[in-house]
Amino acid sequence: MLLWHEHKAKVVVVSKYKVIDLFSGAGGFTQGFVDAGFEPVLAVEREKDIAATYAANFGSHVVARDIESLSETIDAGKFNLRADVVVGGPPCQGFSNLTGNRAGDPRRSLWRYFMNVVEASDCRVFVVENVPNMITSNEAQMLIKRAGKLGFRIDSGSVGVLLASDFGVPQNRRRGFIIGSRLGACGLPEPTTRNKKVSVWDAFEGIDPKVSYIDPPVVRPLLTKQLHIGRKPQPKSVLRYKAIGPGGNRTQIPPDLMPDCWKNKQGGTDLFGRLEWDGPARCTIRTEFFKPEKGRYLHPVANRPITHWEAARLQTFPDDFKWHGTKIRIALQIGNAVPPLLARAIADHVKKHLRVNKVRPTRRPKASDVQQLCLPLGQRESGASRAA
C-alpha cells in the first residue's frame, strides 16, 4: 500500500516496509505491524477457518497451507517473494509446560521451515515469538546458529522474555522473543508502560457485566463486540463462583461444593481464579478462557467466566476485528494470538532499527507471486500437526 502526501502540488510516494507473517493465526502479529506502518505481503496459516479470519481483516495475501509444504515450494524454486521482515510464532505446544515440554514433539522442529522462508525472502530482520521455554531450548540454539550462517546478528540482548503488561497489554503474559538482523544486533524493545500499566478495569470499559446466553448469528464473520456471549452454567457452578472473592481461587470453595479431584490437589492456584479490577490480569489468556477450571478466568464481579469479547480486549484486539469459525475455534484464535499491542512494540522497535540503518523498503510483490503459493483445491497437506 502507498501513502500519498500532497505538498505544494508535489506528490510524494512513501513506500512501506514489507512483512511476512508465518504461523499467522488470526493475525495478532500482523495487526501490530500494520498499526506501526508495515505492509503485510504474505501470511501462512494452516487452518482454513483461521486463515479466513486473517483474510477478512488484512486481505487475500494469506495462504492456507502448512509451512512444511511451503518449504517444498522454496526447494522447487517457486518462491519469489521478498520482504524486509519475517515474523512468526511457531506452535508453542512442543515447548509449553502445559503439554509436557516434550523433546520429541515434532512441532519443536518447525523453526527449520520458518528459517527456510527467512532465507528465501532475503529479509533484513526476523522475529520469533514463543513461550519462554523455547528461547532456552536446543532448538533455539540451532536456529541462532543457522541464522548466523545466513548473516544475521543475534546477541544476548536480542533474545529474552517480554512481559506483555509492560507494553500496554492488560495481561501478565510472558513471551520469549528472538530478533535477528543482518544490519547488526537489534536488541529487544524497552517497556513502554512499566510504570503505568493498563488494568482489567480499563480493558473492560464499556462492556456490560451482563451477558447474553443466545448463540451469535450463524453468518460469519462476527465482530469482536458481537462475542459477548456466556456459557449457561449449572446451579452448582454458580454457587462455586459466588464463593470466590476478588483475586481468590478454588481454595475458597466450601468443602461441600469442592470437586473430589480438587480436595487434595496441590498447586494450581489460578484454577477457578477471579480477576481483579486493579492492575493487569494475573493470568495468560489461553484457548479455553471460557472454562474457569482452566485458569484465572472469572469476571471481577459477575459470577461467570469471561466472554470472548472480554478475552479479546485482554489480548488488545480491536472491537471491530472480524472472526470466522465456531465459538470454540474463535476462542482458540484469541488465546493463541500475539497480543497486537505487544506486536506493535516489536514493530516500532524493528522499524526504528531499519530506519537508523537507512534501509529502503522492499518493492511490493506481484499478486501472482502469492497466488502461485496457494495449494490446488483438495490437495492434502503434509507435515507435523499443529493441533492446539
Residue located via cell numbers 514493530: 347
Residue located via cell numbers 529502503: 360
Collapse the DSSP code of 67 into the 3-class scheme (helix H, G, I; strand E, B; otherwise coil) and give the result: helix
H or E, element range at 44: strand 39-44
Catalytic residue among 92, 123, 186, 283: 92
Q: Roughly how many angstroms between the first and final C-alpha of the chain, as a whole number?
A: 33
Q: Give the three cell numbers for residue 138.
A: 536446543
Contact (Cβ atoms closer than 8 angstroms) between residue 333 and residue 25:
yes
| Catalytic residue check, 92 | yes
Question: Rounded to an integer, what distance in angstroms lies between the CA atom of residue 127 and that of residue 143?
Answer: 12
Q: Give the three cell numbers for residue 354.
A: 531499519
Collapse the DSSP code of 5 into the 3-class scheme (helix H, G, I; strand E, B; otherwise coil) and give the result: strand
Q: Give the three cell numbers for residue 163.
A: 512481559
267 conformational bin, left if phi > 0, alpha if psi -120 to 50, beta if neither: left
Q: Give the three cell numbers for residue 124.
A: 533484513
> By C-alpha distance, which of 312, 363, 284 is closest to 15?
363
Beta bridge partners of 13: 4
What percent of the chain is helix, strand and coil (3-state, nearest 5)? 35, 15, 50
Q: Give the three cell numbers for residue 339.
A: 497480543
Contact (Cβ atoms closer than 8 angstroms) between residue 193 and residue 170:
no
Collapse the DSSP code of 274 into the 3-class scheme (helix H, G, I; strand E, B; otherwise coil) and give the result: strand
Name the residues annotated as catalytic: 92
